[in-house]
Amino acid sequence: MTVSASGLERTEAAAPVDASVRRAGFFATLRRHPRLALGGGLVVVLVLVAIFAPLLTPFDPVVGDVSDSLQAPGAVHWLGTDDLGRDVMARVLFGARLSLSVAAISVSIGVGVGVSIGLIAGYSGGAVDLLLMRLIDALLAFPGLLLAISITAALGPQIQNAMIAIGVISIPVYARLTRGQVLSLRELDYVTAARALGVSPIRIALMHILPNLANTLIVQATLTTAFAILQEAVLSFLGLGAQPPSPSWGQDINYNQRYITNLMWWGSVGPGVAIFLAVFAFNFLGDALRDWLDPQFRRRA
């Protein structure tokens, strides 16, 4: 929560798109922005791992060989096996699928609902704005994880409900971000001109205001993805997200933590490092994107 919150403060000031950003070629841009290349590269690797997980390991993530149980990392099982003889590496690789799809869906919920609320509130103003923004304030008043836990608990401990819960707690960031931008953009001449020409409010919002928000939203969505991966891991760790036997990083750490007492650490370390790398990749990419896309931020640097 805090990570994306600090992201919010900085991106809020973004001005309309600077065209010179787009002029440089793709690889030239990457060469000039090594952080963008590193963050982006990690994210691409992560997505490829999720897509091609079955090709990357000979082992089944769900059905293990019990005679092979609790093997330490070695030549055959690179990250060891759990008590049911399942290959930890296979579960980590397949876990990327769950983690990324949960993140993608919950971020979509957050962006979709949040941006809509922000557009409506910012554009209509008055009572609608007041009401919607107080609702957002109320959502923000809850510690995010606690709200996610209670929503998931209320709806039932299933991964679909975890997605909804994570989506709901990321709505306020987008609503506030969008509303703030709409308030400043709608006074600009080209919007006034469009309004004078009789363009409908919905069309102005979608065709004239939203495109100017794109950069800010891309940066925020990247940071929220890191946040969503972390939240999914926590919810699954607490038994509220993915249910066994489906491979999930958070749930696997919870399942294997009982063996840590016997110094059998590998069942928890594999998925833990995976969470760290995934969250790090999206945080890093988000920061790099902000430096690159946000003209005000770039000028300061």
Partner 1 sequence: MTRYIVRRIVLMVPVAFLVTVIAFLLLRLAPGDPVLAYSGEVRDPEILNEMRHSLGLDQPLPVQYVVWLGQTLQGNFGRSIRTHQQVGEAIVERLPATLELTGVALLFSVTTGLIVGTFSALYRNSALDLLATGVTIAGVSVPNFFLGLMLILLFSLVLRVFPPGGYAPAIDDPLENLRRIVLPALTLSAATLAINMRQVRSSLLDVFNQDYIRTARAKGLSEGAIIVGHALKNGLIPVVTVVGLQVGALIEGAIVTEQIFFWPGVGKLVVDSIGGRDYPVVQAVVLLSALSYMISTLLVDIVYGWLDPRISFTRGR
Three-state DSSP class for 204? helix
The continuous run of DSSP H or E covering 93 comes out as helix 88-124
Residue 74 CB, nearest distance to partner 1 (Å)?
A: 20
Residue 3 CB, nearest distance to partner 1 (Å)?
A: 5
Residue from 237, 246, 248, 286 binding partner 1 (CB under 8 A): 237
Give the whole-angstrom CA distance, residue 119 versus residue 146.
Answer: 27
Query: Per rule CB under 8 A, is residue 255 in the interface with partner 1?
Result: no
Q: Give me the residues paired with residue 87 across strands.
A: 81
Q: State the CB neighbour count (10 A cutoff) for residue 203.
A: 10
Residue 234 CB, nearest distance to partner 1 (Å)?
A: 6
The continuous run of DSSP H or E covering 185 comes out as helix 171-185
Rounded to 10°, the helix 266-293/249-256 angle is 150
- Piece in contact with partner 1 (CB under 8 A), picked from 13-21, 100-108, 111-119, 151-159: 151-159
CB contact set of 85 (below 8 Å; sequence gap of 6+): 64, 65, 66, 67, 68, 69, 71
Residue from 48, 137, 243, 296 binding partner 1 (CB under 8 A): 137
Amino acid identity, position 162: A
- Piece in contact with partner 1 (CB under 8 A), picked from 35-43, 101-109, 184-192, 261-269: 261-269
Q: State the CB neighbour count (10 A cutoff) for residue 276.
A: 13
Name residues contacting partner 1, limited to 165-224 (CB under 8 A). Answer: none
Query: Per rule CB under 8 A, is residue 5 in the interface with partner 1?
Result: yes
The pair of three-digit structure tokens given for residue 206, joined into one six-digit string: 């979608």
Alpha-carbon dihedral of residues 145, 90, 63, 77, nearest 10 degrees? Answer: -130
Residue from 19, 55, 141, 197 binding partner 1 (CB under 8 A): 141
Query: Per rule CB under 8 A, is residue 143 in the interface with partner 1?
Result: yes
Query: Per rule CB under 8 A, is residue 155 in the interface with partner 1?
Result: yes
Residue from 147, 188, 199, 210 binding partner 1 (CB under 8 A): 147
Nearer to partner 1, 1 or 188 (CB): 1
Query: Per rule CB under 8 A, is residue 13 in the interface with partner 1?
Result: no
The pair of three-digit structure tokens given for residue 168, joined into one six-digit string: 């709901």
Give residues in contact with partner 1 (CB under 8 A): 1-3, 5-6, 134-135, 137-139, 141-147, 149-151, 153-156, 226, 230, 233-234, 237-240, 250, 253, 257, 260-261, 263, 265, 268-269, 272, 275-276, 279-280, 283-284
